[in-house]
Amino acid sequence: MKKIIALVLVSLLALSGAAFAETLKMGTNAAFPPYEYYDDETGEIVGIDAEIADLICKKLGYDGVEIVDMDFSAIINAVVSGKVDFGMAGMTVTEERLQSVDFTTSYATGIQSVIVPEGSDITSVDDLFAEGANHKVGVQLGTTGDIYCSGDIEEAGLGTIERYNNGADAVVALVSGKIDCVVIDNQPAQKFVAANEGLKILETAYTEEDYAICLNKDSELTAQINEALEALIADGTVQSVIDKYITAE
Ligand code: ARG
C-alpha cells in the first residue's frame, strides 16, 4: 500500500512538474509605464502587460511569464524568429504588422499624445502640421508615433524626427531642450509628465489605437492565449489590472 501511495505521489509530482515548471517568454520594451517598467524597489519588470501576461500563462498551466526586455523595434523580429513566444508591449495592431505577425483580441486602447514643455509655441497637434512648421519631434523608434510623424511631418517637409530606442530617452531629450515635443502613447505620456517638472500633454491628440498581443503566424499558442485572454476580459480581471495602474494618478 505504501509503495502504491509513493508511486502515485511520484507520478503526480512528475505530472505537475511537467505542467508547471515551464514559462512562456514575452518580448517587451520595459520603458513604457504603466504597461511595462522597472519597479524602483524590486528592480523587477511590472505593469499592466506584465501582470496580464503572468495571469494568461498561469491560466494555461505554466509557472508564469519570463519577460525579455529589448528595443521596441526588435520585438516583432524576436517573435517571428521564435526568440520569444509572444510580444506584449502596449503594441498597436496595424495592417503592416499583421503582415508579419498575428494579433490576439485587443485588451486595451491607447491614444497617441503630444508632450511639450510648458509655455511651448506648440499649443495643439495642428501646429505640427501648419504651413511653414519646422519642429524637432521625438518618437520611439518603430512605434506608431514614429510611423505617423514620419509621414505627416518629415515626408511633408514640416520638421525633423528624432528617433529614440525608448520613450524615456525621448523625454530626457525633451527636458534638456534637444527636441520640441514627444509623440507617444497617452498613458506613458501621463507618467512621464508626472515624473518630470515643466512638461504637459496637449489636449488634442492623434488617433485612438487598439493594443494586442502579437504571436508568430500560425503559432499553436495563439488560440490558447486568446482563449485565456478573452476569459480574463470577460470576468473583469483585465479591467481591474488596468484600473490598478491607471486610476492611481
Ligand atoms: N502603441 C505604440 C506602438 O505600438 C507604442 C508602443 C511602445 N511600447 C513599448 N513598450 N515601448 O507602436
The whole-number pLDDT of residue 3 equals 59
Percent of the chain with pLDDT over 90: 88
Query: Which of 52, 72, 109 has most ligand 1 atoms within 8 Å of its beta carbon, as the pocket-test mutant?
Result: 72
State in Å: Cα 232 to ligand 1 middle.
22
The whole-number pLDDT of residue 196 equals 96
**DSSP conformational letter for 240:** H
Average pLDDT over residues 158-174: 96
The whole-number pLDDT of residue 206 equals 79
Average pLDDT over residues 137-156: 96
State in Å: Cα 92 to ligand 1 middle.
7
State in Å: Cα 5 to ligand 1 middle.
52
The whole-number pLDDT of residue 205 equals 80
| pLDDT higher than threshold 90 for residue 155 | yes
| pLDDT higher than threshold 70 for residue 14 | no
